[in-house]
Amino acid sequence: MRGFRGITLLCSLVALGTSVFSQTVTADASNPAPITITLQDAMARAKVNSPEFHAALTEQGIVEQDKVQARSLLLPSVNYSSQFIYTQPTTDNIPRFIANNGVHEYIALGNAHQELNLANMALYRRSIAAAELSRAKAEIAARGLIVTVVQDYYGFIVAQRKYSTSQTAETEAARFFDISQKLERGGEVAHSDVIKAHLQLNDRERDLREWSLNLERARVALALLIFPDFNQNFIAVDDLRLPDGVPSYEEVERLAKQNNPDLAVAISAVKAGNAEVQSAKAGYLPVMGFDYNYGIDASHFATKTDGTRNLGYSATATLNLPVWNWGSTHSKVKQSILRRDQARLELTFAQRKLLGQLKLLYSEAQTSSTELDLLRQSAQLAAESLRLTTLRYQGGEATVLEVVDAQNALVIARNAFDDGEVRYRTALANLQTLTGTL
């Protein structure tokens, strides 16, 4: 009888194991493995999916086409036109409209046109400066996107760390609460210690829920930035333990002077302002045009009519002199000079601003880098302090307040160290907006 029951129990366990295995396989099939994302992956994905970055690229593409259109105004153009004109004839088969050449008139002409206009030349130079300006703005958008990715990526990493720290703190508070209860039952501590330990446990449980919410917020923020379909099934690689070194100030200053997009924007704006002034002043100058036509203008659509060759050419040269337009040209010149002077002022300010930002951002990167060792040491000391204080409390040499303070100090120290690493990485990213790749 016992053997039969043993066999029955064994069969039940096998069936249960098979059921659990099949459920696990089904769950794995419905939930694919999470995508592993590095910081470089996040940056590449953000460039593909960021609408703000693509808006800057779109603007750059539009301005590049403006340059192509402005250049075409300086080059000869060729067109072909074909036309048939019918005019009501008189009884003598003469056109009733004296402006027309015949009852039937066929026109098929190829036209080559060239215009000499200094305003078009200035417009082309302005389009070149505008293209440089749009490229610099696109670079600003790209570097700003890097800062955003760094903040959101490492914000998610730190949210994970702080959630893990909060879990550890909650576990430690629960353990201490259990220790205080055992000591109270042994008559070694007062009930007030148990109450204090219970309050500490409640605080740690509340913190755990808050950090779970913060982790979800950070995950959503990063998912919105790097995925087109709001995919939250990903894992971010934690590389905060591998910080890059800060280069020398001389190297950073050299890179900033060469690769600063804000300075490039200001310089391009001045170039565009100068070209705009030239374009406005060209309104005072004459415009010359040349046209060459080749084809037919005859009573029959043919190269020859009654032995007469219809094919031929004509050439036209025109000269337009501006005389009077009620001060419109003078007003445009004034407007362009005002814009150019403003661009020059903004250029000098951009140069001063670059030096100030460079000094501050470099100091921020240096300070956050040197503080990392202190923050790491503080976290290690806080962990050791909690261990020793807990042992002293168990030995009756420490109070409950000392243990609680040690627990809180450890949480604060670990979170401060994580925040310090993010601060350092963000400082490097902000410095990179001025210098390009460090």
Confidence of residue 22 (pLDDT cuts 50, 70, 90): very low
Q: What are phi and psi of 227, to 5 degrees?
A: -115, 140
Task: For residue 112, give the 3-state DSSP assignment.
Answer: strand
Which amino acid, 404? V
Question: Mean pLDDT across the stretch 251-278?
Answer: 88
| Number of residues that make up the chain | 438
Do 104 and 228 belong to one domain?
no
Which amino acid, 432? Q
Establish if 181 belongs to a structural domain. Answer: yes
Asked which of 277, 299, 321 is the last residue of a domain, the reply is 321
Do 276 and 152 belong to one domain?
yes
The radius of gyration computed from the CA coordinates of the chain, to the nearest angstrom, equals 40
The number of folded domains in the chain is 2
State how far the Cα of 365 lies from the Cα of 368, in Å rounded to an integer.
Answer: 5
Q: What are phi and psi of 89, to 5 degrees?
A: -90, 165
Confidence of residue 281 (pLDDT cuts 50, 70, 90): very high
Contact 73/124 with Cβ under 8 angstroms?
yes
Do 264 and 195 belong to one domain?
yes
Confidence of residue 370 (pLDDT cuts 50, 70, 90): confident
Do 314 and 345 belong to one domain?
no
Establish if 204 belongs to a structural domain. Answer: yes
Question: Mean pLDDT across the stretch 269-289?
Answer: 91
pLDDT computed for residue 375 by the predictor: 93
Asked which of 321, 342, 373 is the last residue of a domain, the reply is 321
pLDDT computed for residue 260 by the predictor: 85
Task: For residue 232, give the 3-state DSSP assignment.
Answer: coil
pLDDT computed for residue 166 by the predictor: 93
State how far the Cα of 69 lies from the Cα of 127, in Å rounded to an integer.
Answer: 9
Quick check: 245 pLDDT over 90? Answer: no
Establish if 236 belongs to a structural domain. Answer: yes
Q: Which helix (H) or strand (E) holds 437?
A: none
pLDDT per position as a tens digit, 224-241: 999 998 888 999 998 877
Establish if 85 belongs to a structural domain. Answer: yes
Do 251 and 382 belong to one domain?
yes
Quick check: 7 pLDDT over 90? Answer: no
pLDDT per position as a tens digit, 318-363: 999 999 989 999 999 999 999 999 999 999 998 888 889 899 999 9
Do 94 and 241 belong to one domain?
no
Confidence of residue 97 (pLDDT cuts 50, 70, 90): confident
DSSP string for 241-298: TSPPPPPPHHHHHHHHHHH-HHHHHHHHHHHHHHHHHHHHHGGGS-EEEEEEEEEEEE
Task: For residue 77, give the 3-state DSSP assignment.
Answer: strand
Contact 59/140 with Cβ under 8 angstroms?
no
Establish if 10 belongs to a structural domain. Answer: no
Domain extent for 89: 81-116+287-321
Do 62 and 122 belong to one domain?
yes
Question: Mean pLDDT across the stretch 113-126?
Answer: 89
Q: What are phi and psi of 120, to 5 degrees?
A: -70, -35
Establish if 29 belongs to a structural domain. Answer: no
Do 145 and 97 belong to one domain?
no
Do 178 and 103 belong to one domain?
no
pLDDT computed for residue 250 by the predictor: 86
**Pairing mode of beta strands 35-37, 104-116:** unpaired
Establish if 8 belongs to a structural domain. Answer: no
What stretches of 284-399 show up as alpha helix (H) in DSSP?
Answer: 328-394
Do 276 and 308 belong to one domain?
no
State how far the Cα of 231 lies from the Cα of 223, in Å rounded to an integer.
Answer: 6
C-beta contacts of 117-121 below 8 A and 24+ residues apart:
117/73, 117/282, 117/287, 117/288, 118/278, 118/282, 118/285, 119/279, 119/282, 119/283, 119/285, 119/287, 120/70, 120/73, 120/74, 121/74, 121/278, 121/282
| C-alpha to C-alpha distances, 420 to 143, 181, 221, 374, nearest whole angstrom | 22, 37, 21, 10
Question: Mean pLDDT across the stretch 358-380?
Answer: 91
Establish if 214 belongs to a structural domain. Answer: yes
pLDDT per position as a tens digit, 153-196: 999 999 999 999 999 999 999 998 999 999 888 888 889 989 99
What's the CATH code of the domain at 111?
A: 2.20.200
Q: How far is CA 266 from the centre of its chain?
A: 20
Confidence of residue 436 (pLDDT cuts 50, 70, 90): confident
DSSP 45: H
Quick check: 3 pLDDT over 50? Answer: no
316 contacts: CB under 8 Å, gap ≥ 6:
289, 290, 291, 292, 293
Quick check: 28 pLDDT over 70? Answer: no
Asked which of 295, 321, 347 is the last residue of a domain, the reply is 321
Do 359 and 296 belong to one domain?
no
Contact 268/132 with Cβ under 8 angstroms?
yes
Quick check: 290 pLDDT over 50? Answer: yes
Quick check: 264 pLDDT over 90? Answer: no
Give ∠ CA 275-279-283 in degrees, rounded to 5. 165
Do 173 and 303 belong to one domain?
no
Question: pTM for the whole thing?
Answer: 0.76
What's the CATH code of the domain at 407?
A: 1.20.1600.10
Quick check: 216 pLDDT over 90? Answer: yes
Output the average pLDDT for the chain: 87
